[in-house]
Amino acid sequence: MNDKSQNFFLHADGDSFFVACELVEHPEYKGLPVVVGEDRGIAVAMSHEAKKLGVTRGMPVFRIKKDFPQVIILSHHFDLYQRISKGVYEILLSYLEEVEQYSVDECFAVVKLSDIKLAGSAEKLLGDIKDDIQNKLGVTFSMGLARTKALAKTASKLEKPNGMVLLMNQIDEENALRATQIDDIWGIGRQSVPRLRNMGIKTGYDFIMYSSDQIEKHFNEPLFVLQKELSGESFYNVDSDSDPRDQKSIQSTATFKPSSSDPQIIFAEMSENVERACERARKLELMTNHVSFFVKNIKFIHHSGDAHLPLYTTDPSIILDAIELIFYKTLVADEKIRSTGITLHNLRRDEDVPQDLFGIQKKADTKNVVEIVADQIKRKFGHNILKRASSLRGTSRQRSNSFPGKGGV
């Protein structure tokens, strides 16, 4: 049994993933009934609009053409799906340390309490990840968060497409299982479904309430373990074969309310993101020499910029100095901004950072020690105990609401 009781599990599930990937290449077909499949084959995937017409997975393409002439048939491009799948994995890995690529359109990840605390809330963490995937890759993922992998997998199905379900307590879990038919439970095979129904087990909730002794007696061990998982006991681990120190980027994004057109408030929000991203990098003993940022307005239009740093660092002051001028040039006068984000690129392990001839890198490494001590203070006494001046510019004024004509919508 997994003893990491303080952790949650995330399941990210692509929405009509193959079709969504094709629509990235063919945006002109968005909102239309689309099927992915070959002329002499079957429907591999279909859009929501095609499903509403009655098209089902596995239906022969020749029959779809005959019965549903309005449906657009697209050939599959597995290299495209793999590329976007890899992008999703890398985005998840930029937020979370343990990520499992379960299939081309599914990932599991461990979400620690420290991850939730850093983001502000579980809802915000998942929302930021979902927004990042959609904005950068053009596809949507439904997400479930729960105490176990099986419950997270159950949760991610409940509000498709583009849903987000968090099972944070036993009542949430039981309600989710009541809403899930037994044949929709991950890990229950088709041969077991009739037997379970004959035993009066129609839903996931019926399954967890049934005698575990009887489940163990009449079924094999995997089903017995699954019952424990759905009851909130974690047995399945995230199979992450990646070293979090091998990731090439780390990012931090934030949506803030009220939205603002005040440059100082917006830069203060960006400063908070830089602080969080740098803290994560220091925790993994990684450094960066290239950063990019974005701001998103209330109409979800992005503006972005990037900066190459003169050395490898995780010192927020150096990064903020590098992006400040570009950042202010990026802003449009009186445009209300709702979110900001920073990405640290080209990450290297501390021990792999090359030293320069004039010792500038060595001085930066020494300064990095100060930031590490600051991280330790924050973890002990709370993240608000130490604030950089740039992040205080906006927040104190935000709280006092002393910006006539500026700020929220």
Residue 180: inside a domain, yes or no?
no
pLDDT per position as a tens digit, 60-113:
999 999 999 999 999 989 889 989 999 999 999 999 989 998 888 999 999 999
Residue 376: inside a domain, yes or no?
yes
Q: Is the pLDDT of residue 227 over 90?
A: yes
Which tokens go with 235? Answer: 């047995």
CATH of the domain at 304: 3.30.1490.100
Identify the pLDDT of residue 224.
87
Total number of domains constituting the chain: 1
Least confident interval from 66-70, 338-342, 377-381? 377-381
Higher pLDDT, 210 or 406: 210
Least confident interval from 47-61, 204-218, 374-388? 374-388
Give me the chain's average pLDDT, please.
84
Identify the pLDDT of residue 401.
32
Beta bridge partners of 252: 342
Residue 383: inside a domain, yes or no?
yes
Percent of the chain with pLDDT over 90: 55
Q: What angle do CA 144, 146, 151 make, to 5 degrees?
A: 80
What are the φ and ψ backbone dihedral angles of 302, each rounded to 5 degrees?
-95, 145
Averaged pLDDT, 194-214:
95
Residue 210: inside a domain, yes or no?
no
Identify the pLDDT of residue 151.
97
- Per residue, what are the HEC states of the chain? CCCCCCCEEEEEEECCHHHHHHHHHCHHHCCCCEEECCCCCECCEECHHHHHHCCCCCCEHHHHHHHCCCCEEECCCHHHHHHHHHHHHHHHHHHCCCEEEEECCEEEEEECHHHHHHHCCHHHHHHHHHHHHHHHHCCCEEEEEECCHHHHHHHHCCCCCCCEEECCCHHHHHHHHHCCEHHHCCCCCCCHHHHHHHCCCCEHHHHHHCCHHHHHHHCCHHHHHHHHHHCCCCCCCCCCCCCHHHCCCEEEEEEEEEEECCHHHHHHHHHHHHHHHHHHHHHCCEEEEEEEEEEEECCCCEEEEEEEEEEEECCHHHHHHHHHHHHHHHCCCCCCEEEEEEEEECCEEHHHCCCCCCCHHHHHHHHHHHHHHHHHHHHHHCCCCCCCHHHHHHHHHHHHCCCCCCCCC
Check whether the bond before 404 is cis (ω within 30° of 0).
no
Q: Is the pLDDT of residue 385 over 70?
A: no
Q: Is the pLDDT of residue 53 over 90?
A: yes
Identify the pLDDT of residue 397.
33
Identify the pLDDT of residue 218.
85
Identify the pLDDT of residue 57.
87
Its domain, for residue 251, covers: 244-400
Higher pLDDT, 253 or 261: 261
Identify the pLDDT of residue 394.
47
Higher pLDDT, 266 or 397: 266
The CA distances from residue 202 to 185, 192, 214, 303, in Å, are: 11, 12, 16, 50
Q: What angle do CA 359, 364, 370 make, to 5 degrees?
A: 140
Residue 35: inside a domain, yes or no?
no
Whether the predicted model's global pTM rises above the 0.75 cut: no
Q: Is the pLDDT of residue 364 over 60?
A: no
Averaged pLDDT, 231-250:
79
Residue 345: inside a domain, yes or no?
yes
Averaged pLDDT, 323-348:
91
| Contact indicator for 127, 255 with CB cutoff of 8 Å | yes
Residue 108: inside a domain, yes or no?
no
Question: Please, which pLDDT band fits residue 404 given cuts at 50, 70 and 90?
Answer: very low
Residue 124: inside a domain, yes or no?
no
